[in-house]
Chain A
Amino acid sequence: MDRKRVPGPELSVAPLVEYPVDHKRWTPYGETRHDAKRQPEDMRPIYLKTGLINQANGSAYIELEKTKLACGVYGPRPIKRTGQGFSGKGVLNCEIKFATFSCAKRRSNMRDPQEKELSLIVTQALTPAVRLELLPKSAIDVYITVLESDGWGSCLSAAITCASAALAHAGIEMLDLVAGCSASYISNVPESSSSSTSGSSSIPPQIYMDADLEEEKYEQGAIVLAYMPSLNEVTHVLQSGKAESTTISQSVEHCVEACNKIYAVMHHALLESINESKNNSL
């Protein structure tokens, strides 16, 4: 029982959804993706804007259609835990939080294991890019709030992109921007029809870039890649599900390509912030 919030009923559940008989659900076995306008290699259009949190040292907001995240960067500021002794390097600490209304099922206010893990992944993906050696005894806190999530892969990759833009906006010295990108492996052939042969493994799955939630429901596997385009380095890779190594190498290439496109968007958003601050000062 949470005593620090307005109390609600102890147990509440989402109602059971009943689909009408004639309900047509999207399947990957047809001609198109869930978003019919997109080709397999297409990402959703990205809207990225820096500087919406005026109390933060740096901030950014990213939107990939339904996926919406905000990120605020605080620091460098004094390290809170002094237990570790003198440290010649700064500490990067990322925390990702899902708003209770961000997913189909209402999320709890408590920090759950998934949020903890995603926080760690974002930290690992961004650390290679930040010049922490220039920030002794300091901490940089990156807070990410997911307002709406449409698929966890795109959500994680958007979090990385958004946080990296916010860090640059905070004026923190970085080696490079980090772009995050996701891809899903989805079989175009219904499994039941291929089960007579030796399983679906014989037909390589289609790689859908930046899959949404509806597409993720059919995925055999997915990959999230974080990449520094100028330095040509992968800062994080996370693959789940099962796939042949050829599929993976192919999707890594696709993701690297996509990250270059995302980099252009980030570049543009950050330059815009320069122009804006120039106009404001005039």
Chain B
Amino acid sequence: MTSTSAAPSPAFTFSASTFQKLHPAEYFRKFISQGVRPDGRLLTGFRPTTVHYGVISTANGSAMVRVGGTTVVCGVKAEVAEPRLDSPDQGYLVPNVDLSPICSSAFRPGPPSEQAQVTSDAIDRVLKESKVLDLKDLCIEEGKAVWSLWIDVVCVSYDGNIYDAALASVMAALANVRIRKPTYDEGIVKVSGAQELDDDNSFKLNLNRTPLSASFVLFDTSLELLADPNFAEESICEGQISVTVDEEGQICALSKVGGGSSSPSILKECVDRAKERSKDLRALMQQQ
């Protein structure tokens, strides 16, 4: 059906990069049929990942996560706000992912793209539905003042799989958060400006769990499963599966979108691999 399925005639020879540009799917298929990916990874391989904590001193908590060529920086800023009327003792968690034009030419200046919105929404749902943090911990004075945690993820370099990288950076940044202990007095919230932060004048967040995810794409009609897709892979594959699990092996979120039907055994495989991957990632995050 698609024109790109045309096999190139042997009479024309091109460099690999030209061939990739003209027939991206065909180029890719040649690698996959050999069981490797253009960047040298096996189909199941994840890219090298690094996590750094506390990279931004103007934020209450921050982390930088690199997954291969994808680099994200997450900063958490705590501000004071009035609680919602229906939940007077609960604070706010506001995660947002920014995919600005700096990180890839696929993104244009202006309001968040659909991808940014969908990623923000997915992270928002994981944080809230799997009860990562008791929002009551963010209460300063019931009905009057609560903490609002603005969790902003800035993507500096985009090379696919933003959800895994963004979620990991959010969890790392939340683990890194330190908020000065507040005092509430007649509508004004004050914090001490003492230089050093210690356990007496500040508090850490009590995280119930650390959900981490692994994402996969389904390539072609053969429905090969590729772990941790990069930008080129994402743009030629249609189906996506993301599995988010916590440290006890419970699933926090699972989504499979697009790319035709896939059997439960494929999903089972994804869940198993996600458990493994999140274990590795968790070990990496605890090393720091």
Contacts and interface: CB of A to CB of B under 8 A. Distances in A.
Would A and B touch once assembled, by the CB under 8 A criterion? Answer: yes
Interface of A: 2, 4-9, 11-20, 23, 52-56, 59, 66, 68, 70-72, 74, 77, 95, 97, 99-104, 106, 109, 141, 143-145, 147-149
A145 B158 CA distance: 14
A59 B175 CA distance: 30
Interface residues of B, number: 55
Contacts of B69: 54-55
Contacts of A77: 105
Interface string B88-105: 000010111010111111
18 contacts: A4-B116, A5-B112, A12-B80, A12-B150, A15-B80, A15-B182, A15-B189, A15-B190, A17-B191, A18-B192, A23-B193, A23-B194, A53-B103, A55-B103, A55-B158, A68-B56, A103-B58, A149-B58
Contacts of B104: 55-56
Given A5-B96, A16-B189, A20-B194, A143 B124 contact: no
Top 3 nearest A-B pairs (CB, nearest first) are: A101-B75, A8-B94, A9-B81
Contact of A102 (B56, B96, B158, B189): B56
B15 interface: no
Contact of A101 (B58, B81, B105, B192): B58
Interface in B63-97: 69, 71, 73, 75-77, 79-82, 92, 94-96
Nearest to A111: B109
A102 B190 contact: no
Contact of B82 (A11, A15, A100, A106): A11
Nearest to B91: A9
A17 to B, nearest CB: 4
A19 B193 contact: yes
B105 A74 contact: yes
B105 A99 contact: no
Contacts of A8: 81, 92, 94, 148, 150
A87 to B, nearest CB: 20
Nearest to B148: A12
B100 A97 contact: yes
B69 to A, nearest CB: 4
Given A6-B121, A53-B103, A55-B158, 7 more contacts: A15-B80, A17-B190, A56-B102, A95-B101, A101-B56, A143-B101, A147-B154
Contacts of A149: 58
A20 B154 contact: no
A18 B76 CA distance: 21
Contact of A15 (B96, B116, B191): B191
B103 A72 contact: yes
A8 B92 CA distance: 7
Nearest to A66: B57
A194 to B, nearest CB: 28
Interface in B130-144: none
A71 B62 contact: no
Nearest to B78: A15
A20 B103 CA distance: 43
Given A5-B112, A8-B148, A148-B57, A55 B105 contact: yes
B101 A15 contact: no
B27 interface: no
A54 B157 contact: yes
Contact of A141 (B101, B106, B152): B101
Nearest to A17: B193
Contact of A100 (B77, B117, B124): B77
A4 B111 contact: yes
Contact of B75 (A6, A17, A23, A100): A100
B192 to A, nearest CB: 6
Nearest to B114: A4
Nearest to B75: A101
A149 B98 CA distance: 18
Contact of B102 (A14, A106, A143): A143
Given A55-B103, A72-B103, A100 B152 contact: yes
A25 to B, nearest CB: 9
Given A16-B191, A100-B77, A5 B57 contact: no
A97 B152 CA distance: 14
Contacts of B275: none
A55 B191 CA distance: 42
A101 B82 contact: no
A77 B41 CA distance: 31
